[in-house]
Structure formats: C-alpha cells, structure tokens
Amino acid sequence: MAKEPAEKKSNYGADSIQVLEGLDPVRKRPGMYIGTTGPDGFHHLINEIFDNSRDEAMGGHANDIEIVLLPNETVRVTDNGRGIPVGIHKQTKVSALETIMTVLHAGGKFGGEGYKVSGGLHGVGASVVNALSVYCRVDVHKIDEGHFFQEYSQGKKKAATKKLGSTKRNGTIVTFTPDEIIFGKQTFDFHRIVSYMRQQAYLVPSLRISVIDARGAAKIPDLEDVFYFRDLAIDAPSYTFFFEGGLVSLVRFTNQILKPIHKNVFYIEKQVEGVESVEIALQYVDDISSRVLPFANNIYNSEGGTHITGFKTSLTRTLNAYARKNNLVKESEDNFTGDDVAEGLTAAVSIKMREIQFEGQTKAKLGSIEARGATENVFGEAFAAFLEENPDDARAIIGKVVLALKARKAAKAAKDSVLRKGVLEGMTLPGKLADCQTRDASESELFIVEGDSAGGTAKTGRDRRIQAILPLRGKILNIERARLDRMLGSEQIKNLVLALGTAIADTFDLSKLRYHKIIIATDADVDGAHIRTLLLTLFYRYFRPLVEGGYIYIAQPPLYKVKRGKEIMYFYNDEDKIKELGNDTPEINPLDETGRDELLERADAPADDADREVEMVDDGKGKRVQKVTIQRYKGLGEMNSEELWETTMDPERRILKKVNIEDAQEADKIFDMLMGTDVPSRKLFIQSNAKKATIDI
C-alpha cells in the first residue's frame, strides 16, 4: 500500500492573498502595461502622454503639441486642447484630474461624446505613467475656470488639486520624471522621439508638433507660469512638423530616396458602417523590399493586425483580377501570391473606429474583426478603379509583380537545389565550419570571422564545446538589391545559410536555429566595418527574426595591448588608453612633466610602430619605474589564440554588442540609402556625417 505523502506545514491561507490597491499593480508588474522596462517601455511613457494630446487634436480640439526633454530625463508635454476636467467626480469624490491620474481604467474614452475616435481606450495611459514616475505634475488651463495643478510621486498625490489663478489659454501640461527604481539609469533617444512625432504629424494633417531637447541647456527658469517652452527662446536642438498632405505625404517621404515605378500615388479615404474612416495610400518603387505602415486610431501597430490582413488579401485579389482581365499575364502563368504583390510596395494603412480592440496595452496589433472587412471592401473597390483609370500606372505595377513572380520561382529552384545538394552530398554543414560539440542551441555560439588567418586563430583558441567558427573569405555579396537566386549562388552566403540551419525566405524556420548567439567578429578597420555592414544587411533583409529576437551580436576586439611589468591590460579605444596612461601613478606616469608628455606622445604614435618600449625616468625618490610595452592590433589575425580567447571570446571577460531594431522604418531607410543604388543620397549622408566618423589612418 502506497504511503501517504508526509504532511508539510504550510502558511498558505487567506492571509497569503494580496490585494494591490491604487496603482500598486503597475509598479509591481510594469511589463503588463508598457511591455518592458527597457528602452521600448521607457520611450513608451512619452507616447502614452502624447497620445492623449493627439486625441484632442483628432477631435478638432487642439492643433499644437510640444514635447520637451528637460534635465534629469524629465519630460514635459503641452497641448492647447480643452484641458482635463477638474471638477469633483461623483463616483470618486475627488477631482476628475486626480481620478484620471491615480485610478486605473478611468478616462473619457469609454463611450459618450467625450471622444469620437481615440487611441487611448483602456483608461490606463496617464495613470500608468504617473505610477512609474518618481515625480509627476499636471497643469490644466481653462480660460473660463482658471489654472489648476496637482503633483504626484510614484502614483500617489502630494496634495489635492489646487487653483493657481486665472489663465488666458486652454490646454494641459504633463511633466514627469521616470522612476530609476523601475527603469534603472536610462536616457531618452531624441532622434527616436523625433521620428515618432514626425510620423504622427503626417497622420493628423494640420497638427503642429514640436520636439525640443533642452537637457543640455545652461539654465532653465521656473516653468510654473510658462505654457509653451519655446516661448522662452532657449537655445536647444528642436524640430517642428506640420503637414497637410496626410498619408500621401507619408508615402512620398518614405520613398524619397527610392525610384517610383509609377507616377500617381493611390489614395482613398472612406467611411463605412461601423468604421469612422478607412484611409490608404500606396506607391510601388524599384526595390525588392516592402514597406507597409499600419495605423489604428493613429497608433502605429508594429505587428499589424486585422486591417493589414484585409488590405493584403484585397491587394492580391485585385491585381490578379486586373492582370487576367487585361491579358497582362499568360493563362498558363500562376496567380500572384501575397509575396509577389508585396515586393517594392510602400503603403500606409490607417483605420479609425469608435469601438476598437487592440491586443495588449502597447497596441502593437489590431484585433477588431470589423476592420478586416471594412479595409478589404473599401480598398478593393477603390484600387480596382485606380487601375482602370490609370492604365500606364497599372501596367507598371503588374510588370513589377510579374518580375517578382519569376524571381520567386527562380529563387525557389536555387534554394531547393542548395538544400537538396546539402543533404544528398552529405554536406549539410559547410566544410569551412568548425562546429561546436554541444547540440543545445541555447548555449551554442557561432563566430563569423574575417579571413582564414583569424579563423585559424579562433578555432585554436575557442571553447570547442559551445563555440563554432565560420571564416569568411573577403567581403560577401551586397544583397540589398540582389534576389534570392543570385544570393544562393554566392558560396559564402550559402555556407552561412546552411550553418544557421533555419533555411531562408518562405521556408525560414526559427525553431531550427542551431546557435542562439551569432557573433560577427571583424577587424577594427574600414574593411572590417564594411564586412560587418554587409552581414547586417543580409541579416536584416533575410533573417530579420534573428535580429528582432536578439540573436545577433558584434564582437568588440581590443585595439591595444599594454604590458607594464607583469601586468597586461587591453584597451578597446584610444580614449580609455590615454586615460589610463595619463593616470598619476608612478609606474606609468613619472612626476617629470616632460616624461609624461613623451609617454603620451609615444602612446599615440602611428599604428605602423606596432611594438615599442617606453623607458620611464626616475621618480625622484630612487624608485625604479617599470617599462611599458604598447601593441596596437591591426586585425584579429595578429592576436595569438590565447589573446583572442581572453579578449574577444571568453564569455566571462569579453564585450559583446547586441544588435536590435529600435525603429524599423528608420533602419529600412538607412539600409536603402547606404547599401542601395541612390548615389546622391549616400554621398550627401557621408558628407553630412563625415566629422562624426572615427577614421583609422
């Protein structure tokens, strides 16, 4: 007879159940409300407050929004809308302002006539920002009522709502400082904020949006009586956006460095039952990538949603029907697929609804079922009419899609050939790959190294159990405008595809990834940077889930090895080297100022003088000073296996940079400019940023 399990004492009773009150749940589990406490969530705080101001503008109640970055990463958002209500709320018995800022799911967007269309639907945005801020202040201006304010700390009010006096403006000012307890030490990326606000200005025609970075301002006066910060005329970096063209302007901006294949930009805006507005603009360009920008109630949906499903379905059906009807494809030809019609497409899809459903508070994906049917019907009817009315544009578009279809077939044949040969010839893994012993992908690392010399050193110095080495022979193919069939004709790219194990294109399978750390290790010179850029272009265009999943890293090999007596130090940049060698320690820097200058001068000598000994002078106290040897590495191949291991490969000591995508649209634009065929734009970019570059001479 089986024994009863030994009785264990347990304190799990009614007293173990915790009830979090007020905004405590937000501070306890911030990821539930802003997705992450990393950079994305940190910047999302600004978006939450801005979205409330933008909703006022969408309703026709505001036309001027200002975002200011102040010292200590404090943010100030001002709008000239109606101002948050300040009267006593019947249910909470405190001011409506305090209710909105301190109670979850409290707001004016759950129905009624407060907002016809809005992005803030859950009533948690402002209160979440308040909860995650060490300091928050809201100023409300109402011409007929006065100037009111209330201050908070970590979601709790400091005092009741107070009236400061009269005012000559209407609007709301929200000032907040993110809590380092939640987010750690982070800084706002000014250009990331600017990019988001530019996009929003396109989506709300005639809305003025200003972004000011005043974090470096010498002195900022008391802002209690200041409405718009720009009125202070403080010298600070700033951008102001104001567009009247809407989505058409957004599409033209996105395509500014690309070559359109047809003249007219398609555009439609229409209201249908259950949907306030379906708005779409598109244009095809001479490129192999697609750019589809989805918005719902002006919220950017990075993961798409039902409106994008409807749009893509309708686009494929409409182009197939037009091509068949006008005999632009042979009867024997296959129908276009979604991938075919997406090649070279730039589109902005915006839908506005009263009752709208997002998947999660960050609103990355639209879930409203009605949005699919509305988008599909409105776009299908309008785009079919556009093709009939613009036959030259239609032929250009169909020609582009036919080319994509043929390329897809050629790419599939090339890909199948590569994979089939790999299996049949017993070369599933390329011969140059020195694989690791473990088969656990979560602990496996693949080092992609530059050249056979560095590859040989890396193979000798690695941890064979978890580290694999794949050497590259020179620079790989620039795939920015190369189709898949040509790519797989490149031996180096084919080897990389086989080594990763995920396949490529429509057969890509992330679950088959053989290494969860893919580390690019190239020399710290111009050629190394070029090879690194070519690899990043390949990963971004054809293996983007690897970038988005955080699997791609860049190794940071040192520039200098400094030996002082028996002590060995490595420096990864000139600044750290000079800082250390300029230290007031007698072993390195004698009291004689001439000796110090000589040391620094020699330490900064040209790279050709690879090894040199610096003889130190007596420190004046009879103490013998050690000599210093400084070696500058020109490439990974100059290191021996022990040096490469301890500086670049040892998981305990190395420095790796994880590659991520903060702004996919901006990244796409940069890759187009730097790796595409638009020479004038690339030349202008290089000329504009030349002074920022670190030149290896």
Q: Which residues are catalytic?
A: 450, 523, 525, 527
Write phi, then psi, for 95 (nearest 5 degrees).
Answer: -60, 150
Query: What is the Cα Rg of the chain in Å?
Result: 30
- Dihedral of the alpha carbons of 526, 527, 528, 533, in degrees to the nearest 10: 90
| Spatial contact of 463 and 518, defined as CB atoms under 8 Å apart | no
Residue 264's nearest CA partner among 404, 402, 389, 401 is 389
Q: Which residues contact 596 (CB under 8 A, 6 or more apart)?
A: 582, 589, 590
Strand 171-178 with 208-213, pairing:
unpaired
Q: What CA–CA distances, in Å, run from 462 to 283, 449, 467?
A: 50, 12, 6
Residue 554's nearest CA partner among 529, 583, 588 is 529
Sign of the alpha-carbon torsion through 534, 539, 544, 547: negative
DSSP conformation class of 163: E
Q: Which residues on neighbouring strands pair with residue 150, listed in sequence order?
A: 138
Q: Which residues contact 562 (CB under 8 A, 6 or more apart)?
A: 568, 569, 570, 571, 577, 580, 581, 628, 629, 630, 631
The C-alpha atoms of residue 265 and residue 347 are separated, in whole angstroms, by 10
Q: In sequence order, what E strands does 432-522 have?
A: 445-450, 467-472, 517-521
The C-alpha atoms of residue 387 and residue 382 are separated, in whole angstroms, by 9
| Spatial contact of 433 and 499, defined as CB atoms under 8 Å apart | yes
Residue 429's nearest CA partner among 532, 514, 522, 509 is 514
Q: Which residues on neighbouring strands pair with residue 172, listed in sequence order?
A: 79, 140
Owner of token pair 């994305």: 40
Tell me the residue type at 643.
Answer: E
Angle CA(306)–CA(311)–CA(116) in degrees, nearest 5? 60
Residue 576's nearest CA partner among 554, 596, 595, 560 is 560
The C-alpha atoms of residue 653 and residue 568 are separated, in whole angstroms, by 14
Q: Which residues on neighbouring strands pair with residue 561, listed in sequence order?
A: 570, 631
The C-alpha atoms of residue 309 and residue 457 are separated, in whole angstroms, by 50
Owner of token pair 């634009």: 669
